[in-house]
Structure 1
Amino acid sequence: MNDFVRFNKVAGVYWLKDPIKNVTIKVKLKPKDVPISLPKFEDYTTSHDSIQQDRSQEYTFKWQEKVFSAWELQRYMDIHNCITDTELTYHQMIEESDYEPSKVFTYVHDDFYLPLPNDSNKSNVSSLSSCFEKLWLKERVSGVVERSSMGNLFKSEESLSSEQWTAMHVVLDNSEYNEDSHLLLKQELTLISLYHNTTHNYLIMSPDVNDLELNPYDVEAAGIRLEYQYGIQVDFGETWHSEDLVTLLEKLYKKWLKRHKQLVRVSAPPLDRRLVCLTLEILTADNFDMDDLYVEYHIKIPEAVQCDGALHGRTHVTRSSCQDGSEKWAFGYIIELGLEMHIGTEITPLQMFFEVISTDWWGRHRTEGYTYLPLTLTPGRHKKQLSCSRPQENDKMAAESRRFFVGGCHLIKDLDILAKPQLQDANFTYVSTGLLNLRWDVVSQTHIPGFSTPQPSTSSSSAVLLGAEAVLRQYRKARAKLAAATKDLPCGDI
């Protein structure tokens, strides 16, 4: 299987419904886009269509279709160069038909161009056996083969080598020829390798199909990319119906839904309590002066709210990237909080403070900006862009010098100043810096008495409350029956 990864591209595996002979491979080859000279005036006067020409060429091959290159035609034309039965067959084919050389040609299974997948496994098994024989452990290995898991390993290797494969390769002829079409330098570059497993009827193609315009493959030779790009398409025959696959997927989806309903259990919140799940994502930052940014956050929750999650943390350090002509820093950092409160409590917004900090190679950390978000727990998805600003001393010269040499000083001792500007000290002012982009989702859950929940979980405190409610209902019914039965009796008799 090592031959499959030599392309450094993903290989595709296709289970075949129809016979392999119906498979058609299409290769579209074109030179790479290079700078072109501006058209002349006479080019416009003759034909405008000649300026925009499609330089790509498409080659179509059927399974095990032999297409000859220029040097193959020259070789097989001379019968003295043909020794094997395959070579004699090619000579007869060329004699009986008028074949034209092709820049993109094929090697079929009888050419034995590359080793089959099971060849490498055979060599591994034989080399491993020879190593054991040299170590004089043959008797021991035979016992292990019969009784241990290593025996299953050898058996699996032998069973793999017993599988039957048929190969086909599509190759680019990049050889050099003289004026008389005689070969000067032979160079062949494999574009596609196809291996058909006749035992289980599936096809391995390396590399996988792609689109020439959206995702072209580069032609490489000894690590050097040539001035060609190509795309691959495969047709599995006219009798292949996608409706069968859609029907199969729909049946699998129905089975999955049925199984999923049996596995998923909904745990209802406790009575008279509200559960809120908050997921906030720090997306990106824009238009800051320094690079290598990270964000620290501090969250303050109301006293009536119980919180499960980290209320303080920081993101990773990220470098800038230029998008749409502006500097942008991508974070993608997620903050998850689980909140619990009484259902009748009026909840004030959460106070979220963010500080954007830069770092440099000298270990200096500079505050690039502060921002504040009063986050209300409104269910749904929300998105907001916050403006950042940093404090600066009134003495601008001293502030810039201190910021350059030691990273500045912490002028904000209490973050509540961001939420209450009236607490600001008169010794500094704010300077606008960049932007911070946030996105958050809020999900709220409550348990209303009298409404049943689907398959409630019995392993929580809500189960205890549900049991207490059931006992209380039974007690009320018994008390009502007792009152109805004894309402006409004197008090002394009761």
Structure 2
Amino acid sequence: MHDFKRTNKISGVRWLKEPIHNLKISIKIKPHDGVLSLPKFENYANFSDTGNAESFDQTEEYTFKWQEKVFSLWEMQRYSDVHHCITDTELTYHNMLNDLEYVPSKVFTYVHDDNYKPLPLNHVRKRGNKILDLSSCFEKLNLNEKIERTLLKQTSSMGHLFRSEENLDVGNEQWMAMHVVFDSSDYNEDSQLVFKQEAVLVSLYYNTTNNYLLVCPDENQLELNPYCAETGTGAPLGRHYSVGLRFQEQEEGEELNVLLNKLHKKWEKKHKQLVNFCMPPLGKKVYHLTLEILTAAEFEADELYVEYTIKIPEEIQCKDPLHGRTHTSRVLRSDEGEEWCFGHIVELALEMDAVADPPSLQLFFEAISTDWWGRHRTEGYSYFALPLQPGSDNKRLSCSRPEELDRVEASSRRFFVGGCNLIKDLDVLAQPQLQDANFIFTTTGSITLRWHSISQSPLPGYSRPYFRPETSGRSASALLLGAEAVLRQYRRAKAKLAAATRDFRDHDGSGDAPSLTDS
């Protein structure tokens, strides 16, 4: 027999005096086995020997920072596959899981970017079809009438002391949210998700405008007034938990680091206004390329997105990402036909030797469609060698899809499982002679591109060193080279003056040559 009595959860409001990023959320959770559950004899024997109660304590404690993202097991499985990541936040989580090693947790978090629940301004409480916001709640308090009835209208000034905020403008308030959630989902033996279920333990809403924090539910103690973990439908999960909030004290030197960072940002902002242009290094040429994936047309399936891969020659240096994908687009039908719009922009900064001719960049595109069943089908590949020439241009690329020689088997495989990946290396598109004879290409749709390219190089005969604000060492060497250039000009001017006054000195017969300081 289990005693799953629901505990009343009370929300709290806190006006913050410390920075919100120092907030620590502590969750203590333990199983609730009921009043008839007794400890086993083995546990009692261990307790007698050790003399402590740790053997009976099954309490687990979790601590989270403000806006700290902790992943559950099903989240890690979802975000590990890039095909499940559509929004920028999901792609960020995918990169986080690839760059660092994360351990899944039964108690995880939803941060503000997850948009897990509506903010307080959007929905506070529903009564019928009417939505009440904070301003309507303040109006329904009507404190003036209560105070006047209590004071029997003895003084008119006392009522102003208890007047509610009539001019509160909640429409301009900004909120940040964070939720701590317990993962009670069912998984199979291979840790694959079978049934998704979770319970919100605590929700925190931070008002950035007025600097206060809403906590739902408020702080409590696990021993005196624990909360019962429940699903969204109110079903108990057999867990009791407590909520604790505390602000971490700043370590020594942290305030100094914050101050230095602010000063550095102000210096960078002011320096950008003073130095608007920097020349490329001597002997180098810089190219700035803006590539835009505009539209796609003439494909059979809907829900299209385009993956691109850019291969840079060895003599060119580039630090920008060379692989990515557009968002998923739906077809737009008009009198001119069907079209998918993307408008995806890729910006590259390329650097190479100024004496060499710029080689072309290799651009590979793959149009992929999705369906309601989550299958991703390759609709077509395309290749384009983009020349690095200054100017603007656009091009429409035709796409082709590899298919097996047996068209019946290829059609069946494509219909049921989305086909198979016949191209293992994209270089086959650039060099058709590497093509395998086991498949053929079928023309499908097209992709429209537009690009803008500019080049920067030092002026011919320009020997004055340029100033780069990134490194102080280079700027110091530039100043020394500038001083040497000025000294060479001074010596050249002195030699010209001595040559011009030689005839005058010989005609006068005096051996004294005028000095530069006589004038």
Task: Give the TM interval when normalised to the shorter protein.
Answer: 0.3 to 0.5
- Tell me which structure has the larger Cα radius of gyration: 1
TM-score by length of 2: 0.43
TM-score by length of 1: 0.45
